Amino acid sequence: MEAIWSGSLTKMSVKATDPVTYHLTDGYHEVSERAEDVHLNPLIGARMALRYTGHIQCAACGRKSKKTFGPGYCFPCFRSRPEADICIVKPEKCHYFEADNPCRDDEFAQSHCFQPHVLYVSVTSGVKVGITRKVNVPTRWIDQGAVHAIPLAQLPSRREVGLVEVELAKAFADKTHWATMLRTKEPDVDLEGTTEAVLARLESMKVRGVLPEGERQQHSFRYPVESLPDKVKSLNLDKTPDVEGTLLGIKGQYLIFDTGVINLRKYTGYRVEVFSDAAA
């Protein structure tokens, strides 16, 4: 196999084509020093290897680290940067208006949190409810491995949509079971029925921002996958720094090999070399 790429892992960039288009993208903190993207779709069916060099650099500041925290950060950045605050994972815990616990960065809050957010239902491992910034539609759905998604409401801030999601989660699933998602091409679910039930709950909650029927359109995605695994074996760069196999497909943020699967986003900040016996 020949070397085709060297850089710091981050989530693959995606485009909502048919099938979805994937590129391996360098997440190195210095933008000017990043390696060029590599189109991964043409590599499906070929032998491919990822070799972890043993080096980890914070995706935010570039500091060398023995492990990553949150979205690929060193511990100081994890403790200080707004992107790693608890409210990013749990929007209902937004503390922007708490005088004794203010937001870590007001500019970040205005550009990310106080922006339109979409509440949706999607089909990943099953039917689930979820939220995302409007600008992240439809990439958020693809990153989760959704085969279908329907936007239902739009709210003006992350906290507001997060509070609605928490209430809905009492009656509807809000998590993706990644292994089931990777094993299943088209889950046998009642998307239409769940959508109507969620809309009814939103009405009973008197949620403002429910989209008109004409904007609640179903989006569907087909992934570049030759075959899905019957059994899912997770590959771990910390335990096995050399990952190799025939690339069978890509779904969500997972590379699917005949030897196992690996979530590239999980290893944000890891320096790797990539090899393939197919031309990129």
Tens of pLDDT, residues 146-175: 999 999 999 999 999 999 999 999 999 999
Q: Which of 149, 259, 141, 276 is nearest to 211 (CA)?
A: 149
pTM for the model stands at 0.94
Tens of pLDDT, residues 209-235: 999 999 999 999 999 999 988 889 999
Beta strands in the chain (DSSP E): 2-8, 13-15, 21-24, 38-39, 47-56, 117-123, 127-133, 148-155, 219-220, 242-251, 254-257, 260-263, 270-276
57 secondary structure, DSSP code: B
Q: Is the separation of the CB atoms in 179 and 260 below 8 Å?
A: no
Domain residue spans of the chain: 2-67+225-276, 82-216
Report pLDDT for 212. Answer: 97
